[in-house]
Structure 1
Amino acid sequence: MESAIKTIVTTYLSSARGKENLDGKTFQKLVKKQLGGIMEDADSASAVKEMQKGLDDNSDGKVSFQEYLTLVGYLANAMSERKCGTDAEAS
């Protein structure tokens, strides 16, 4: 668990490159490179832009660390539901 949290933090920080927030282009790269294996629309610029708008609580056009954590939580929850659904069907 500790290494997973470190990975989440370092992935954001390395993508942000010393800035507090991810701009649209940087967020697009992060999603495509880091989340393409678990997100269907990671290659779709328009889908990622819509996702960014949905995450952008303060409407500044950027993704803060807290907003990024919202995405991570959503993805973890979706993955958990898929795994639980699969396990329930196998029983």
Structure 2
Amino acid sequence: MPSQMEHTMETMMFMFPKLAGDKCYLTKENLRVLMEKELLGFLENQKDPLARDKIRQDLDQCQDGKMGFQTFLLLIDGLTITCNDSFVIHMKQKGKE
């Protein structure tokens, strides 16, 4: 039985091809669907209404409209770090109350 971390890794490994299909990369449309279906809670909590567009632009470093698996993982990594930072700030503020 896989550990929780192994299960998380497996989820990422299987989610990418499910979204990318036979192309082996995500298009802007794939990324839009991913963000609207899988990251909606994160996006709804952003103070910047252009956060979604900024994320897309930052990820498309080659300016080709394609996102490979490594870039997909960078997206997940960056969002996880952002969520953790927000959680830490929230907990510190809660401790001061």
TM-score with structure 1 setting the length: 0.81
Q: Residue 43 of structure 2 aligns to a residue in which SS?
A: coil
Shift of 1:10: 1.4
Q: How much is the aligned-residue C-alpha RMSD, in angstroms?
A: 2.1
- Greater Rg by CA: 2
Q: Percent identity?
A: 25
1:7 pairs with 2:11: yes
- d(CA) in 2 for partners of 1:88 and 1:24? 37
Runs of 4+ in 1 over 4 A off after TM superposition: none
TM-score with structure 2 setting the length: 0.76
- d(CA) in 2 for partners of 1:57 and 1:22? 13
- d(CA) in 1 for partners of 2:92 and 2:52? 31
1:84 is aligned, of 78, 82, 88, to 88
Structure 2 matches for 1:1-91, cutoff 5 A? 1-40=5-44, 48-91=52-95
Which structure is richer in relative contact order (CA contacts within 8 A, separation 6 or more)?
2
Task: Determine which structure has the larger helix proportion and give its number.
Answer: 2
